[in-house]
Amino acid sequence: MSDPSEPESGYELVLSTAEVGLLPVVRSVLHGAGIPFVVQGEHALAQLPAGALAGLFARRGLEARVLVPAEHADAARALLQPAAEALAADDSPAVLEEQP
């Protein structure tokens, strides 16, 4: 069994966030679309204070990363775009990663 902290090659980063509350939404959207995914850093992030401090943690690189197989990356980005835009409007840290 492969280590989930090091997904198989062929996975792409589609979203990074320090906003713990966004992750259940991301999971639901991707699961509902049938897109396989891996979330890195969620457990460590859940141990930290949220809210106003989330941006501080994101700037220091403490964030959860959502990765999907490369063949699903464009579809995942399109599905997650509205959530990332809504968080950006609220000044919450979420970055929809561009295609490499």
Q: What is the pLDDT of residues 18-43, one digit of tens each?
A: 777 888 989 999 999 999 999 998 77
Q: Report if pTM > 0.85.
A: no
User: Number of folded domains in the chain?
Assistant: 1
Closest CA to 49 of 20, 87, 91: 20
pLDDT band at 74 (very low <50, low <70, confident <90, very high): very high
Element (H or E) spanning 95, and its range? strand 94-96
Residue 91's domain comprises 11-96
Tell me what pLDDT residue 9 has: 73
The answer to whether residue 32 is domain-embedded is yes
The answer to whether residue 5 is domain-embedded is no
The answer to whether residue 15 is domain-embedded is yes
Tell me the mean pLDDT in the region 74-86: 87
The answer to whether residue 6 is domain-embedded is no
The answer to whether residue 2 is domain-embedded is no
- Residue with tokens 């259940």, as numbered in its chain: 24
Mean pLDDT, rounded, of the chain: 76
Contact predicate 4/38, CB 8 Å:
yes
Task: Tell me the CB-side half-sphere exposure of residue 52, using CA atoms within 13 A.
Answer: 0
Report the CATH number that the domain containing residue 74 is assigned in CATH. 3.30.70.790
Of 61 and 83, the structure prediction assigns the larger pLDDT to 83
The answer to whether residue 79 is domain-embedded is yes
The answer to whether residue 83 is domain-embedded is yes
